[in-house]
Amino acid sequence: MGSVDPMDIKGAVALVTGANRGIGRAFTRALIEHGAAKVYAGVRDPASVTDPDLTPLHLDVTNPEHVVRAAEAAGDVTIVVNNAGVLGAVNDLLEGDLDVARRVLEANFFGTWAVSRAFAPVLARNGGGALVNMLSVASWSGSAVTPAYSASKAAQWSLTDAFREGLREQGTLVVGVHVGPVDTEGAAWMNAPKVEAADVAEQTLKALAANNTEVLVDDIARAVKASLSQPR
Q: Which of 153, 184, 68, 155 is nearest to 117 (CA)?
A: 68
CATH superfamily for domain 13-227 = NAD(P)-binding Rossmann-like Domain (3.40.50.720)
Angle, helices 98-105/147-166, rounded to nearest 10 degrees? 30
Per-residue pLDDT at 185: 63
Other Cβ atoms less than 10 A from the Cβ of 72: the count is: 10
Per-residue pLDDT at 143: 85
SS3 133: strand
Q: Which of 105, 135, 108, 111 is nearest to 200 (CA)?
A: 135
Exposure on the CB side of residue 204, measured as CA atoms within 13 A: 33
The helix (run of H) or strand (run of E) holding residue 147 is helix 147-166
Q: pTM for the whole thing?
A: 0.92
Rounded mean pLDDT of the chain? 92
Name residues whose C-beta falls within 8 Å of residue 81's C-beta, 6 or more positions apart in sequence: 14, 15, 16, 17, 24, 27, 132, 134, 204
Q: How confident is the model at residue 183 (pLDDT cuts 50, 70, 90)?
A: low
pLDDT tens-digit map of 11-27: 999 999 999 999 999 99
Query: Can you say whether the dihedral through the CA atoms of 22, 23, 27, 28 is positive or negative?
Result: negative
Query: Can you say whether the dihedral through the CA atoms of 154, 156, 159, 165 is positive or negative?
Result: negative
Angle, helices 64-73/111-125, rounded to nearest 10 degrees? 20
Say if CB 153 and CB 138 are below 8 A apart.
yes
Q: Which residue has the higher pLDDT, 223 or 134?
A: 134
Q: Rounded to the nearest 5 degrees, what angle is found at the Cα of 80, between the Cα atoms of 18 and 199?
A: 65
Q: Which residue has the higher pLDDT, 85 or 89?
A: 85
Q: How confident is the model at residue 2 (pLDDT cuts 50, 70, 90)?
A: low
Q: Which residue has the higher pLDDT, 104 or 231?
A: 104
Q: Which of 111, 115, 114, 86 is nearest to 14 (CA)?
A: 115
pLDDT tens-digit map of 94-147: 988 999 999 999 999 999 999 999 999 999 999 999 999 999 988 998 888 889
Q: Which residue has the higher pLDDT, 218 or 64?
A: 64
Per-residue pLDDT at 1: 46
Please state, for a pLDDT cut of 90, what percent of the chain lies above it. 75
